[in-house]
Amino acid sequence: MSQTKKNILLVISTVLVTLLIVCCAIFYMLGGTVEKAGDMLRFIATVSFVEDKYDGDVDRTILINGSIDGMMKSLGDKYSIYLDEEKFRELNNINNGTFGGIGVVMSFAEPGHCKIMSVMENTPGQQAGLQDGDEVIAVEGTPVSELQPEEVVGKIRGVEGTQVVITIRRQGEEDKDYTLTRSSISMTTAAGDMIPDTEIGYIRIASFSENTAKEFKDALEKEKSQNAKGLIIDLRANPGGLVTSCMDIANMVVPEGEVVSLIDKSGNKQVFNSSMTEKELPIVVLIDGNSASASEILAGALKDRGAATLVGMKSYGKGSVQTILPLFRGDGIKLTVAKYYTPSGTSIDGIGIQPDVEIAMPEHPTEDVQLLKAVEVMKEKLQ
């Protein structure tokens, strides 16, 4: 046999051995089922075929990113999504309480619509003249009706100093485009003060980020030093955030015992408990259709444990838990891994939490009737 043939056979043997080792590794990692190993080989073969045969330029990273994105979308779960490098960075910035944005709090209570709930002071939104109640009907020319809420938020937020164009619909006026320059938004997520001429403290929690628990504790201690006899916690338009932050606050307001339990697909149950033993203040909690996720965990625990009266409208109903998996190229995935249950064993996923006292905001409010009702309920508690 010639040396050339020997070399060819050696190469073929090496390739076959390598392929066999790879197949065995895949087979092992996927639990040892032939079907799963075959599916993985189908994927590898497809990527290889596209790279070799496609009549055009192929970027393998883009190809894999698209595959992961499609994988997440195939689950049919709006909370399980692929986060490219930009979106992954934005998520981390939001959890840290700092991001490049325009300084507005948005509501997606009505599907396909986005309304501005409030405009923060000294932000691009305020400087441009945006107002509470404005409807965002398009971002960069793309109608809001064609986007998921997280896509709307993702398009509006971005790198500090860059511009974004949003189209605003305001009652009695023609639709208008606003060009805003994003700035760094350092958001205080929990703040409050005493209700004037009462012994009632008020704390608004806008979301649950890394600093929220400390901000809440500072506000609570300040109000206790001012002889607060009762506390109103405002969770309206709170989309959730870090469950760890929510639990830190639960330890300050929920009586010792269960706060929430998580159950995964295998039936494994994890129970989170409050360690608070000191005497708690009477509490009233404000919720609405935009109170979701971690805000529902806190509201549900306080209601089920008999520690608070809930006032407002039924909450959003996001009772699933997501985990973040970094994918080592600055991107990642957010995947639903469990459902949470209130202390009474109730899942509110797709249902929401019903308030004890239901009261809706009028279409064009001249005063905060929900907060006024919460004050009324608290005064009855303090009698």
* C-alpha separations of 76 from 69, 73, 90, 299 in Å: 12, 6, 23, 28
**Orientation angle between helical segments 60-73 and 34-53, nearest 10 degrees:** 140
Measured between alpha carbons, how far apart are the two ends of the chain, in Å? 103
* C-alpha separations of 283 from 203, 275, 286, 298, 377 in Å: 11, 18, 10, 12, 10
- Check if 261 is active-site: no
What does the alpha-carbon distance between residue 54 and residue 50 come to, in Å, rounded to a whole number? Answer: 5
What does the alpha-carbon distance between residue 103 and residue 118 come to, in Å, rounded to a whole number? Answer: 9
Residue 103: enclosing H or E segment and its boundaries? none
Collapse the DSSP code of 355 into the 3-class scheme (helix H, G, I; strand E, B; otherwise coil) and give the result: coil
Collapse the DSSP code of 196 into the 3-class scheme (helix H, G, I; strand E, B; otherwise coil) and give the result: coil
∠ Cα 137 138 141 (to 5°)? 150
Say which of 183, 245, 293, 370 is annotated catalytic.
293
DSSP class of residue 147 equals S
What does the alpha-carbon distance between residue 147 and residue 166 come to, in Å, rounded to a whole number? Answer: 14
DSSP string, 223-288: HHHTT--EEEEE-TT---B-HHHHHHHHHHHSPSEEEEEEEETT--EEEEEE---SPPPPEEEEE-
- Taking a C-beta distance cutoff of 8 angstroms, is the pair 86, 156 a contact? no
Say which of 183, 245, 322, 370 is annotated catalytic.
322
Strands 357-358 and 308-312: parallel
- Taking a C-beta distance cutoff of 8 angstroms, is the pair 230, 281 a contact? yes
- Check if 322 is active-site: yes
- Check if 318 is active-site: yes
**Orientation angle between helical segments 243-253 and 212-225, nearest 10 degrees:** 20
Residue with tokens 């390739």: 15
What does the alpha-carbon distance between residue 313 and residue 291 come to, in Å, rounded to a whole number? Answer: 9
Say which of 87, 303, 318, 334 is annotated catalytic.
318
Catalytic positions, written as ranges: 293, 318, 322
